[in-house]
Structure 1
Amino acid sequence: MKDDGRPLFLQIAEQIENAIIDGSLPEETRVPSTNELAAFHRINPATAANGISRLVADGLLYKRRGIGMFVARGARDLLLERRRESFGRTYIAPLLTEAHKLGMDAEDLKKMIDFWREDQP
């Protein structure tokens, strides 16, 4: 795990969330155990357990007694909805505020987005 200033358990949770979103951990798939995560990342198993517990509390994972933790049905859709909402708050709302200050309308923004999209490799 890289030290990005956030608690390690949050980084573990986000890593699993990202795997759910990108499809590498499909719904109803077993996720690595806390001991497997701890060994892989060289962290305390309790830290990994905190990350897993957070995902269980959020309804993204569930436990099958004696087998392990699994990705819940609907987890990907739930994560996509949350991330889109967060994206809107973090990026779109400030973008619209700044565009308004600059006297830009939706068409101006679309042209700018198209310009920058074409400029990407």
Structure 2
Amino acid sequence: MQFNFDSTEPLYLQVAEQIEEAIFLQSFQEGEQVPSTTEISKQFHINPATVLKGMNILVTAGFLEKKRGLGMFVTSGAPEKIREKRQTEFYHDYVVNLVNEAKKLTLTETAIIDMVKRGFSQS
């Protein structure tokens, strides 16, 4: 995990994003325990309440579950739930904006699809 202490993004959101990314990339497997708030706070010199606030975002989203007295664990299906969340965000953050800009430029759907295909073939 890497945190940017100079960023305007709050640390608790960085914690949530870092753990979510690790779950998505399956660095933490379904059913596996993630590091405790104490471990993360000591290792990265972050307030434990800040770490917990970030982890609670993932609990609310259904990616982590609390097991009383044991810690936080990756929920079953969490990587797929994260994929679905990110696909929805991708649509709203990129596709909607792409279509709106294409309309301003009077580009057709076919022209946009051709551009996307060209982008895939070049990468």
Query: Is TM (by shorter chain) over 0.5?
Result: yes
Q: Report Cα offsets for 1:28-69 as digits up to 9, x if no partner.
A: 111010011112221111111111112112221112232211
* Residues in 1 aligned to 2:66 and 2:83: alpha-carbon distance in whole angstroms: 22
Q: How big is the shift at 1:117?
A: 3.3
The secondary structure found in structure 2 opposite 1:73 is coil
Cα RMSD for the two superposed structures: 1.4
1:22 equivalenced with 2:25 (yes/no): yes
Please point out which of 56, 59, 62 is paired with 1:59: 62
- Per the alignment, residue 104 of structure 2 pairs with 101
The secondary structure found in structure 2 opposite 1:63 is strand
Alignment length (residue pairs): 120
Q: In percent, how many aligned pairs have the same letter?
A: 40
1:13 equivalenced with 2:8 (yes/no): no
- Per the alignment, residue 92 of structure 1 pairs with 95
Instruction: Give the aligned residue type for 1:114.
Output: K
* Residues in 1 aligned to 2:8 and 2:97: alpha-carbon distance in whole angstroms: 24
1:40 equivalenced with 2:43 (yes/no): yes
Instruction: Give the aligned residue type for 1:32.
Output: P
* Residues in 1 aligned to 2:63 and 2:119: alpha-carbon distance in whole angstroms: 35
When normalised by structure 2's length, the TM-score is 0.88
* Residues in 1 aligned to 2:10 and 2:91: alpha-carbon distance in whole angstroms: 24
* Residues in 1 aligned to 2:122 and 2:38: alpha-carbon distance in whole angstroms: 45
Which 5+ residue runs of structure 1 have no aligned equivalent? none
